[in-house]
DNA sequence: CTTAGGATCGCCT
DNA sequence: GGCGATCCTAAGC
Protein backbone atom coordinates (compact mmCIF):
# COMPACT_ATOMS: atom_id res chain seq x y z
CA UNK A 1 0.00 0.00 0.00
CA UNK A 2 1.08 3.51 -0.70
CA UNK A 3 0.67 5.80 2.25
CA UNK A 4 1.89 8.84 0.34
CA UNK A 5 0.58 8.82 -3.20
CA UNK A 6 2.34 11.31 -5.47
CA UNK A 7 4.88 12.24 -2.81
CA UNK A 8 8.63 11.74 -3.26
CA UNK A 9 9.33 11.81 0.49
CA UNK A 10 8.19 9.66 3.40
CA UNK A 11 6.63 12.23 5.70
CA UNK A 12 6.56 9.77 8.60
CA UNK A 13 10.28 10.47 9.11
CA UNK A 14 11.52 12.92 11.77
CA UNK A 15 10.92 16.53 10.74
CA UNK A 16 14.65 17.34 10.71
CA UNK A 17 15.20 14.55 8.19
CA UNK A 18 12.26 15.62 6.05
CA UNK A 19 13.48 19.23 6.18
CA UNK A 20 16.86 18.10 4.89
CA UNK A 21 15.39 15.94 2.13
CA UNK A 22 13.05 18.68 0.92
CA UNK A 23 15.99 20.83 -0.18
CA UNK A 24 16.07 20.66 -3.98
CA UNK A 25 12.50 19.38 -4.37
CA UNK A 26 10.04 21.42 -6.40
CA UNK A 27 6.86 22.75 -4.79
CA UNK A 28 4.05 24.07 -6.97
CA UNK A 29 0.55 25.42 -6.37
CA UNK A 30 -1.55 25.40 -9.54
CA UNK A 31 1.70 25.01 -11.45
CA UNK A 32 3.32 28.06 -9.85
CA UNK A 33 6.34 27.84 -7.57
CA UNK A 34 9.89 26.58 -7.61
CA UNK A 35 12.71 24.67 -6.04
CA UNK A 36 12.85 24.54 -2.26
CA UNK A 37 16.11 26.08 -1.02
CA UNK A 38 15.36 26.68 2.67
CA UNK A 39 13.36 24.85 5.36
CA UNK A 40 13.04 24.62 9.13
CA UNK A 41 12.05 21.62 11.28
CA UNK A 42 9.74 21.81 14.31
CA UNK A 43 8.85 18.96 16.67
CA UNK A 44 6.66 18.17 19.63
CA UNK A 45 9.33 18.35 22.36
CA UNK A 46 10.56 21.63 20.90
CA UNK A 47 9.88 24.86 22.80
CA UNK A 48 9.93 26.85 19.55
CA UNK A 49 7.20 24.72 17.97
CA UNK A 50 3.52 25.63 17.76
CA UNK A 51 2.83 22.05 18.92
CA UNK A 52 4.92 22.32 22.09
CA UNK A 53 2.01 23.08 24.43
CA UNK A 54 -0.27 20.46 22.91
CA UNK A 55 -3.15 20.59 20.44
CA UNK A 56 -5.12 23.83 19.99
CA UNK A 57 -7.46 25.01 17.27
CA UNK A 58 -4.66 26.70 15.37
CA UNK A 59 -2.21 23.79 15.37
CA UNK A 60 -4.76 20.96 14.98
CA UNK A 61 -3.43 19.99 11.54
CA UNK A 62 0.06 19.47 13.02
CA UNK A 63 -1.44 16.65 15.08
CA UNK A 64 -3.23 15.13 12.10
CA UNK A 65 -1.87 12.74 9.48
CA UNK A 66 1.53 13.39 7.85
CA UNK A 67 1.70 14.64 4.29
CA UNK A 68 -0.76 17.46 4.87
CA UNK A 69 -0.36 21.24 4.68
CA UNK A 70 -0.38 23.30 7.88
CA UNK A 71 -0.98 27.01 7.22
CA UNK A 72 -0.97 29.62 9.95
CA UNK A 73 -1.13 33.41 10.09
CA UNK A 74 2.01 35.17 11.21
CA UNK A 75 2.02 38.59 12.86
CA UNK A 76 -1.62 39.07 11.92
CA UNK A 77 -0.89 39.60 8.24
CA UNK A 78 1.27 36.93 6.59
CA UNK A 79 0.56 33.27 5.83
CA UNK A 80 3.19 30.59 6.40
CA UNK A 81 3.09 27.01 5.11
CA UNK A 82 4.35 23.79 6.70
CA UNK A 83 4.38 20.12 5.74
CA UNK A 84 3.17 17.81 8.53
CA UNK A 85 5.53 14.96 9.53
CA UNK A 86 5.68 11.86 11.78
CA UNK A 87 2.73 9.73 12.72
CA UNK A 88 -0.74 11.06 13.33
CA UNK A 89 -0.95 12.72 16.74
CA UNK A 90 2.76 13.53 16.99
CA UNK A 91 2.83 17.26 16.24
CA UNK A 92 5.80 17.77 13.90
CA UNK A 93 6.16 19.86 10.75
CA UNK A 94 8.58 21.50 8.33
CA UNK A 95 8.27 25.22 7.56
CA UNK A 96 8.91 26.12 3.90
CA UNK A 97 11.06 29.23 4.14
CA UNK A 98 12.33 29.94 0.62
CA UNK A 99 12.09 28.83 -3.00
CA UNK A 100 14.10 29.44 -6.14
CA UNK A 101 11.32 30.57 -8.49
CA UNK A 102 11.06 28.35 -11.59
CA UNK A 103 7.41 28.35 -12.73
CA UNK A 104 4.89 31.16 -13.10
CA UNK A 105 7.44 33.85 -12.35
CA UNK A 106 5.43 36.69 -13.91
CA UNK A 107 2.34 35.77 -11.90
CA UNK A 108 4.43 35.68 -8.74
CA UNK A 109 5.82 39.12 -9.57
CA UNK A 110 2.28 40.43 -9.90
CA UNK A 111 1.08 38.87 -6.67
CA UNK A 112 4.08 40.18 -4.76
CA UNK A 113 4.30 43.59 -6.39
CA UNK A 114 7.99 42.81 -6.66
CA UNK A 115 10.16 42.74 -9.77
CA UNK A 116 13.31 41.33 -8.19
CA UNK A 117 13.22 37.56 -8.67
CA UNK A 118 15.43 37.07 -5.62
CA UNK A 119 12.76 38.56 -3.39
CA UNK A 120 9.76 36.68 -4.76
CA UNK A 121 10.01 33.65 -2.45
CA UNK A 122 12.80 34.55 0.02
CA UNK A 123 10.94 34.08 3.31
CA UNK A 124 7.93 32.09 4.53
CA UNK A 125 5.43 34.94 4.16
CA UNK A 126 6.72 35.76 0.69
CA UNK A 127 6.46 32.12 -0.39
CA UNK A 128 2.77 32.02 0.50
CA UNK A 129 2.00 35.34 -1.15
CA UNK A 130 3.81 34.33 -4.35
CA UNK A 131 2.17 30.88 -4.53
CA UNK A 132 -1.28 32.07 -3.45
CA UNK A 133 -1.39 29.97 -0.28
CA UNK A 134 -3.92 31.06 2.37
CA UNK A 135 -5.73 29.61 5.36
CA UNK A 136 -8.16 27.95 2.96
CA UNK A 137 -5.41 25.44 2.16
CA UNK A 138 -4.92 24.42 5.79
CA UNK A 139 -5.24 20.63 6.15
CA UNK A 140 -5.08 19.80 2.45
CA UNK A 141 -2.95 16.94 1.09
CA UNK A 142 0.46 17.87 -0.31
CA UNK A 143 0.17 15.21 -3.01
CA UNK A 144 -3.12 16.34 -4.52
CA UNK A 145 -4.23 19.36 -6.55
CA UNK A 146 -3.67 22.24 -6.43
CA UNK A 147 -0.37 21.10 -4.90
CA UNK A 148 2.55 19.25 -6.44
CA UNK A 149 5.78 18.11 -4.83
CA UNK A 150 8.41 16.83 -7.27
CA UNK A 151 11.74 15.17 -6.38
CA UNK A 152 15.03 16.97 -7.11
CA UNK A 153 15.97 16.65 -10.77
CA UNK A 154 19.52 15.84 -9.72
CA UNK A 155 20.67 14.38 -6.42
CA UNK A 156 21.43 17.13 -3.90
CA UNK A 157 24.92 16.79 -2.44
CA UNK A 158 24.62 16.42 1.34
CA UNK A 159 27.66 18.65 1.72
CA UNK A 160 25.78 21.44 -0.07
CA UNK A 161 23.02 21.57 2.51
CA UNK A 162 23.85 24.10 5.22
CA UNK A 163 22.41 23.91 8.73
CA UNK A 164 22.04 26.57 11.37
CA UNK A 165 19.80 28.10 14.01
CA UNK A 166 16.20 28.84 13.07
CA UNK A 167 15.08 32.37 12.21
CA UNK A 168 12.88 34.59 14.30
CA UNK A 169 12.40 32.39 17.36
CA UNK A 170 13.15 33.22 20.99
CA UNK A 171 13.21 29.68 22.43
CA UNK A 172 15.54 26.77 21.57
CA UNK A 173 17.78 29.14 19.63
CA UNK A 174 20.66 26.67 19.77
CA UNK A 175 18.85 23.89 17.88
CA UNK A 176 20.33 23.77 14.33
CA UNK A 177 17.15 22.87 12.51
CA UNK A 178 17.34 25.38 9.68
CA UNK A 179 18.39 23.79 6.39
CA UNK A 180 19.37 25.49 3.14
CA UNK A 181 21.14 25.18 -0.15
CA UNK A 182 24.62 26.60 0.43
CA UNK A 183 25.26 29.75 -1.53
CA UNK A 184 21.81 30.02 -3.09
CA UNK A 185 20.87 33.65 -3.79
CA UNK A 186 17.25 32.79 -3.04
CA UNK A 187 17.65 32.19 0.70
CA UNK A 188 15.72 34.41 3.11
CA UNK A 189 19.09 35.19 4.72
CA UNK A 190 22.59 33.78 4.36
CA UNK A 191 23.71 31.08 6.78
CA UNK A 192 26.19 32.12 9.47
CA UNK A 193 29.74 31.10 8.63
CA UNK A 194 31.19 28.17 10.58
C1' DC B 1 26.34 46.20 4.98
C1' DT B 2 23.36 46.44 9.79
C1' DT B 3 19.72 48.09 12.75
C1' DA B 4 15.03 50.19 14.10
C1' DG B 5 10.32 50.87 14.02
C1' DG B 6 5.71 50.20 12.43
C1' DA B 7 1.96 47.53 10.47
C1' DT B 8 -1.72 44.40 12.24
C1' DC B 9 -4.52 40.61 14.46
C1' DG B 10 -5.36 35.70 15.75
C1' DC B 11 -4.20 32.95 19.39
C1' DC B 12 -3.57 31.54 24.06
C1' DT B 13 -3.06 32.61 29.22
C1' DG C 1 -3.43 41.69 27.63
C1' DG C 2 0.78 40.29 25.45
C1' DC C 3 3.14 38.20 22.03
C1' DG C 4 4.74 36.37 17.86
C1' DA C 5 8.13 30.41 12.98
C1' DT C 6 7.31 38.29 9.20
C1' DC C 7 7.94 42.00 5.93
C1' DC C 8 8.85 46.62 4.42
C1' DT C 9 11.00 51.03 4.57
C1' DA C 10 14.23 54.24 6.21
C1' DA C 11 18.38 55.63 8.20
C1' DG C 12 23.15 54.93 9.89
C1' DC C 13 28.03 53.31 9.20
CB proximity A41–strand C (7 Å threshold): no
For A46-104, write each residue's pLDDT tens digit. 999 999 999 999 999 999 999 999 999 999 999 999 999 999 999 999 999 999 999 99
Q: Per DSSP, which regions of chain A are E strands? A: 26-29, 32-42, 69-74, 78-85, 92-103, 147-150, 161-164, 178-181
Lowest mean pLDDT among A92-96, A160-164, A172-176, A189-193: A189-193
* Nearest residue, CA→C1' of B12: A56
For A103-115, write each residue's pLDDT tens digit. 999 999 999 999 9
CB proximity A1–strand C (7 Å threshold): no
Rounded to whole angstroms, the distance from the CA of residue A65 to the C1' of nucleotide C2 is 32
CB proximity A47–strand B (7 Å threshold): no
The mean of the pLDDT values for chain A is 95
Asked whether the predicted pLDDT for residue A26 surpasses 90, the reply is: yes
Nearest nucleotide from residue A112 CA, by C1' atom: C7
**Residue A2: which pLDDT band, with cuts at 50, 70 and 90?**
low
The arithmetic mean of pLDDT across residues A147-167, rounded, is: 92
pLDDT for the residue A171: 93
Q: How many angstroms separate the CA atoms of A129 and A120, rounded?
A: 9
Nearest nucleotide from residue A92 CA, by C1' atom: C5
Rounded to whole angstroms, the distance from the CA of residue A95 to the C1' of nucleotide C2 is 25
Q: How many angstroms separate the CA atoms of A137 and A107, rounded?
A: 19
Rounded to whole angstroms, the distance from the CA of residue A13 to the C1' of nucleotide C1 is 39
pLDDT for the residue A193: 77
CB proximity A116–strand C (7 Å threshold): no
CB of A167 closer than 8 Å to CB of A188: yes
Amino acid sequence: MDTFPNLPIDFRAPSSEVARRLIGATFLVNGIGGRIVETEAYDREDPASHSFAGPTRRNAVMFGPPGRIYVYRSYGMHWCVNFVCREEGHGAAVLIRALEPTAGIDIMRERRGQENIRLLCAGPGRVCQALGITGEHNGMAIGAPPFELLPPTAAVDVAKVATGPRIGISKARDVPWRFGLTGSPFLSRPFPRP
